Amino acid sequence: MRIVSFLPSATELVFELGAGDDLVGVTHECLYPEQARQKPRMISSVFEPDTMTSRQIDDKITDLAKTGAPIFLVHEDNIKNAKPDLIIGQGTCAVCSAYTNEVNRALEILEKRPQVEVIDPHSIDDILSSVSVIAKKIGRESQGKALVESIQKRIDFIKNQDHATKPKVLCIEWVEPFFTSGHWVPQMVQIAGGTNLISSTGEHEK
């Protein structure tokens, strides 16, 4: 199977499941594991965030959104050469990583339509479910089951610790403007024995 990943965590997952050789394309943000850096880039940002402040990045994103301009570019030649059987994307955030817009653009470019799996987790359970879905999709179901069981065992171990105190924790997604972390992050804090402030599990960042 020829796999293209439009999401760094999906790239890591494919490698973790032992299917790294099947990856024929990744994004500019896919830097781990080291082998991912050698894969052809299907996606890149329209600007250089590494040289910008939080406020400048937010202003740029806002301007692009107002005009309907893309945040990410799909490299047409690379996606054509990749000839994917499967594209993995995400539907959780249109800004954080390549979104369904980029997936649709890739489908317009390709002559043969590949399978598409868009994951949209909002909790830890959703994440584990996504692992199982991707593992089944790429023919690594047994590896996916073992990975989920391993992760769940680690979660249960932490959850069952005797937390004498519950420190108050503020998880910040973005500095300027100020955003707190949502989705699965509050659940992680709770499992680790903390008290999450402001945001709630499953919510978008605030």
Condensed to tens digits (0 to 9), the pLDDT of residues 37-52 reads 999 999 998 888 888 9
**pLDDT above 70: residue 98:** no
Would you give the DSSP letter of residue 36? G
Residue 95 confidence (pLDDT): 60
Helix (H, G, I), strand (E, B) or coil at 145: helix
Map out the domains of the chain with their CATH numbers.
Answer: 3-154 (3.40.50.1980), 161-199 (no CATH)
pLDDT digits (tens, 9 = 90+) for 144-179: 999 999 999 999 999 999 888 899 999 998 889 888
Q: What count of other Cβ atoms lies within 10 Å of the Cβ of residue 190?
A: 15
CB 132 within 8 A of CB 145: yes
Percent of the chain with pLDDT over 90: 66
Q: Read off the tokens for 2.
A: 């020829």
**pLDDT above 90: residue 192:** yes
